[in-house]
């Protein structure tokens, strides 16, 4: 089950903190380098909570058997010339839940949310060669290019990133 979180739901920060630490420590390229502390993770989630309050970010979480196993974020542009677009960020699935379709489900729900918010263009990037790269293509995202040496990995290497976009149909709900 995938659900959007509001600021009132942020009582699950402990689970979100554990998810982020698990993903970073397993080598996921989500903007952080391992080893990653609980405190760093908590500080990150406080920032996400602030963005949700401002209305510039949405957070979707996936649960299996009552346990939080994944999340994805949708950051919406607040620029006058970008009110039609959003960015998919921090798609994370706990190592124990991978291979069960959680990432695909999170992405599909993020697209539904974006369409409901009348965001007709989604953009994202991922580490070149990452398993998510193939999934994004299968979900209809168009690869537009690569940037070499984009992100530092925990091994000290500079990894390339791959840029994608997807156009959506706006389902204006009056939000």
Does the domain spanning 2-167 belong to CATH 3.40.50.720? no
7 pLDDT band (50/70/90 cuts)? low
- Helix axis angle for 102-116 and 131-138, nearest 10°, is 50
Name the average pLDDT for the chain: 91
| CB contact burial 97-136 (16+ within 10 A = b; e otherwise) | beeeebbebbbebbbebbbebbbbbbbbbbbbebebbeeb
Query: What pLDDT is recorded for position 142?
Result: 98
* Higher local confidence (pLDDT), 34 or 173: 34
* For residues 141-167, average pLDDT: 95
Q: DSSP string covering the chain, please?
A: -EEEE-GGGGGGHHHHHHHHHHHHHTT--SS--SS--HHHHHHHHHHHHHHHHHTSEEEEEEEETTEEEEEEEEEEP-SGGGTTEEEEEEEEE-GGGTTSSHHHHHHHHHHHHHHHTT--EEEEEEETT-HHHHHHHHTTPEEEEEEEEEEE-TTSPEEEEEEEEEE--------
Query: What pLDDT is recorded for position 172?
Result: 62
* For residues 23-37, average pLDDT: 86
pLDDT tens across 52-111, in order?
999 999 999 999 988 999 999 999 999 999 999 999 999 999 999 999 999 999 999 999
- Separation CA 123–CA 115 (nearest Å): 13
**Model-level pTM greater than 0.85?**
yes
Query: What are the boundaries of each domain within the chain?
Result: 2-167
């Amino acid at each position: 089950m995938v659900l959007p979180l509001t600021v009132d739901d942020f009582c699950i920060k402990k689970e979100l903190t554990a998810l982020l630490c698990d993903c970073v420590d397993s080598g996921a390229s989500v903007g952080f380098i391992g080893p990653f502390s609980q405190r760093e993770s908590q500080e990150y989630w406080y920032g996400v909570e602030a963005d949700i309050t401002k209305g510039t970010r949405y957070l979707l979480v996936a649960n299996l058997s009552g346990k939080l196993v994944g999340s994805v974020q949708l950051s919406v542009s607040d620029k006058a010339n970008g009110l039609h677009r959003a960015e998919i960020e921090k798609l994370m699935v706990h190592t124990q839940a991978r291979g069960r379709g959680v990432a695909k489900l999170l992405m599909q729900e993020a697209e539904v949310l974006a369409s409901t918010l009348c965001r007709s263009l989604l953009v994202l990037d991922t580490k070149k060669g990452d398993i998510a790269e193939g999934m994004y293509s299968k979900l209809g995202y168009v690869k537009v290019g690569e940037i070499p040496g984009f992100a530092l990995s925990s091994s000290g290497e500079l990894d390339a990133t791959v840029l994608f976009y997807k156009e959506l149909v706006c389902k204006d709900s009056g939000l």
